[in-house]
Amino acid sequence: MFDYNESLEQARQRNINDALLEDIGKGDWTAMLVPDDGTVSAKLIVRQEAVLCGQAWFEGCLKKLDSSAQVKWSYDEGDLMQANTTVCDIVAKPRALLSAERPAINFLQTLSWTATITREHVKAIEGASPNPKGCAVLDTRKTIPGLRQAQKYAVTVGGGKNQRLALWHGILIKENHIAAAGGVSAAMKAAIALNSGVDIQIEVENMSELQEALSAGAKSILIDNFSLDQMREAVAVTKGAALLEASGGVSLDQLKHIAATGVDRISIGKLTKDVIAVDFSLRVQ
């Protein structure tokens, strides 16, 4: 059943097919009220300042129903859109446009929000880190089911970086794995023995576990719910021997202070799990 790792392009096509299937099903009765000959023109307008993300999903929905549809974008992917401006102009068959409208905008409003809030978090730590390698803002696996690849793509559009894409993409040893394996050292030993070819990261909850993880050969450590003082101590103890990633209920207000401790990365679940739709409006001319 689970015999391959899905690529971004495969995920995008699945997203588009799923969205159109759930919305249109056997047919769009309301779209049949309008003639299907010729074309109509429409404008997509954004009602608030936001980072544009999801062009390929938007166009994919439209062109799945009308392969000859034309979309002329006023902004590039990743651009900051200004409120009440035209995002794109569309020429398409009437029924195709009306049937694709909601699924297409659903993708754009969701992915643009993720890109926007990620950009906000990335900017919040600019210049704050004493780490010569800088400090990266990362996402998590707390995503909308079925939209993992899309949302993680949106994080990169916003200037963030991806934690592991999925379970197949890396080993992250968390507290339950450690408990089941018999401790930090035992869990690290078992992970290394797998010879998986993927990165290994282990979560620690105190300085003692951090020391044990380093002794066991950990090169990437997740320091969960550490205080700022504990983070600074962890950086001093680690001395660059392993990547340090802070996590655990990180708020925007805390972000700059966390980056200032010198950690390498900060992972933030709200980038993909606390979704607010960006306001778009499509108007047929």
Choice among 47, 102, 123, 283 that is catalytic: 102
Note if 224 is an active site residue: yes
In whole angstroms, what is the distance from residue 272 CA to residue 44 CA? Answer: 24
Per residue in 19-54, pLDDT tens? 999 999 999 999 999 988 899 999 999 999 999 999
Choice among 224, 245, 264, 265 that is catalytic: 224
Strand 85-92 relative to strand 50-51, pairing = unpaired
Q: What does the block give as tokens for 281?
A: 């409006």
In whole angstroms, what is the distance from residue 111 CA to residue 79 CA? Answer: 13
Q: What does the block give as tokens for 38?
A: 């010729």
Choice among 59, 203, 212, 264 that is catalytic: 203
Per residue in 80-92, pLDDT tens? 999 999 999 999 9
Note if 174 is an active site residue: yes
Choice among 14, 43, 142, 273 that is catalytic: 142
Residues of the chain with CATH 3.90.1170.20: 8-119+275-284
The pLDDT score that the predictor gives to residue 182 is: 94
Note if 142 is an active site residue: yes
The pLDDT score that the predictor gives to residue 128 is: 95
Architecture of the CATH domain 123-273: Alpha-Beta Barrel (3.20)
In whole angstroms, what is the distance from residue 278 CA to residue 51 CA? Answer: 9
Note if 6 is an active site residue: no
Residues of the chain with CATH 3.20.20.70: 123-273
Superfamily of domain 8-119+275-284: Quinolinate phosphoribosyl transferase, N-terminal domain (3.90.1170.20)
Per residue in 67-113, pLDDT tens? 999 999 999 999 999 999 999 999 999 999 999 999 999 999 999 99
Choice among 123, 174, 219, 283 that is catalytic: 174
CB 43 within 8 A of CB 89: yes
Mean pLDDT of the chain: 96
In whole angstroms, what is the distance from residue 16 CA to residue 9 CA? Answer: 11
